[in-house]
Amino acid sequence: MDDRDEMRRLRAEEIGDELAIRKEEQRIAGEERDLEREMKEFQDAEERAEKQIEEEMRREHWGREPERRPVWPNHRE
């Protein structure tokens, strides 16, 4: 094998490695988007559940705020 063949082989290997890296980066970016979407859906569901609990507590207390309010981190005053 002469020097030109060796350089072509090395360049082809380098290009293959770069393509593999790009493909992996795209896969990771897609996975990140999926996780962000799932996290947003979870947060929305959590917020809906908290509101439903608060509404149910007000119904149980005839429209008034209960003496002991829910204790979740983003509780609205």
Specify the pLDDT at position 74. 62
Residue 67 token pair: 């003496």
Non-local (6+) Cβ contacts of 16 within 8 A are none
CB environment 32-58: b (16+ within 10 A), e (fewer): eeeeeeeeeeeeeeeeeeeeeebeeee
Question: Could you report the per-residue pLDDT of 39-59, keeping only the tens digit for each?
Answer: 999 999 999 998 898 888 888
pLDDT tens-digit series, residues 64-75 = 777 777 776 665
